[in-house]
Structure 1
């Protein structure tokens, strides 16, 4: 199966963002719905992606080999705290302000307030929630359920490196 330039770029997005969800790809690719993402994956990239046990989208080994990007979480790191992750700038900023592993976990709104104060940015609440979810899937953030879900780092900031990817 020969891939178009667009399909190759989108496969690179999957490799870079994995493990990911339809919503992340929908936002990245400017699509209208998760259904449109699913349809694209099935029609253009069916041989190069799969859904793991948690229904998260990942590239196959062959898919990773086809593109010249590094996975956001190296395959050997899956399940534990990774040595390195590759994430968009908002994710990096969230990691910078998020409560540490020994601190009290905090809500999405609390993280949003810290982002406004620390970086002078005003991202959408959903963007912050999505960033926290993505970081959780990469095993560097953990969730604690109280009245609302709250978040904190799963490990000390110094235990993993963070590389910013282009949005």
Structure 2
């Protein structure tokens, strides 16, 4: 199957962002809805992606080879060791409490990002970024009065690369 230039670029996004979900791809691709993402995937990239047991979108090994992009997650069996993420998720990893520290709320992490990077992300974007990082195994959630977050692994054992 020959892919268009747009399809190859979008497939590269899937490889780099995996595991991901419709909402993340919708935002990245500038589409109107998750349904539009699903239609695109089914019509253009059906051979190159699948949904895992948590319904997250992942690229096939052939997809990564075809587009020549390293997967967004390198897992060495005991948790991810290298991830490629958008800027906000990179910032989240930098300010999130260590794996052995007390977890912090979304709002506390939002304030830490504001203080550390002189930026003002939306709280929903921070929450979504935390959930995406949790799906990658980098962040863990502790449920107290409100959900709180911290790194799931040692900070020094993780390499975080910025996704274009």
Q: Please indicate the TM-score interval, normalised by the length of the shorter structure.
A: over 0.9
Structure 2 residues not aligned, in runs of 5+ = none
TM-score (norm 2): 0.96
**Cα distance in 2 between the residues matched to 1:79 and 1:50:** 21
Is 1:80 equivalent to 2:78 in the alignment?
A: yes
The 3 A distance-change label for structure 1 pair 143 and 78 is farther
**Cα distance in 1 between the residues matched to 2:155 and 2:26:** 29
Quote the residue 2:34 is aligned against. 34
Quote the residue 1:110 is aligned against. 108
Which residue of the other structure, out of 119, 140, 143, is the alignment partner of 1:142? 140
Quote the residue 1:25 is aligned against. 25
Verify the 8 A CA contact 1:8 1:67 in the aligned structure 2: yes
Which residue of the other structure, out of 150, 156, 159, is the alignment partner of 1:158? 156
**Cα distance in 2 between the residues matched to 1:14 and 1:156:** 26
**Cα distance in 1 between the residues matched to 2:109 and 2:87:** 15
Moved over 3 A (4+): none
- The alpha carbon displacement at 1:17 in A equals 0.2
Moved more, 138-147 or 77-86: 77-86
- The alpha carbon displacement at 1:79 in A equals 6.0
Structure 1 residues not aligned, in runs of 5+ = none
- The alpha carbon displacement at 1:80 in A equals 3.2
Which residue of the other structure, out of 116, 119, 122, is the alignment partner of 1:121? 119
| Residues 102-140 of structure 1, C-alpha deviations (whole Å, 9 max, x = no match) | 111111111101111111110111111111111111111
**Cα distance in 2 between the residues matched to 1:79 and 1:120:** 36
Verify the 8 A CA contact 1:11 1:45 in the aligned structure 2: yes
The 3 A distance-change label for structure 1 pair 127 and 41 is same
Verify the 8 A CA contact 1:79 1:139 in the aligned structure 2: no
Verify the 8 A CA contact 1:80 1:139 in the aligned structure 2: no
**Cα distance in 1 between the residues matched to 2:47 and 2:11:** 11
